[in-house]
Amino acid sequence: MKIETPYLDLEVAIARLDSVETIQQFLIDLCTPAELRALRERWHVAQILDEGEKSYRDIQAETGVSTTTIGRVARFLRDEPHGGYRAVLDKKD
């Protein structure tokens, strides 16, 4: 259930940003360094998984990300209905 407020939803705020620099500035203000690092790590892992050439252990060795996180990213990339990773990965090319 969505709570109605007079404030701008986070998703709408992000969608309104018009440059990589502005998005970066917003994320730096919004997230702690650890949160931002975790987001970047998950995104990196999603891109590696999408290539389909490396095992979880190979990805862990390359990135330092735990196999638990790699598995979670893989699940959301392949099995969950949200399709967020896929939507952005499909725009890369």
Domain residue spans of the chain: 32-92
pLDDT (0 to 100) of residue 1: 57
Q: Can you tell me the distance from the alpha carbon of 62 to that of 22, in angstroms, rounded to the nearest whole number?
A: 29
The amino acid at residue 17 is L
pLDDT per residue as tens, the chain (93 positions): 566 777 889 999 999 999 999 999 999 999 999 999 999 999 999 999 999 999 999 999 999 999 999 999 999 999 999 999 999 999 976
Helices (H), the chain: 10-16, 20-30, 33-51, 56-63, 67-78, 84-92
pLDDT (0 to 100) of residue 6: 78
How many CB atoms sit inside 10 A of residue 82's CB?
8
Q: Would you call 14 helix, strand, or coil by DSSP?
A: helix
pLDDT (0 to 100) of residue 93: 65
pLDDT (0 to 100) of residue 2: 64
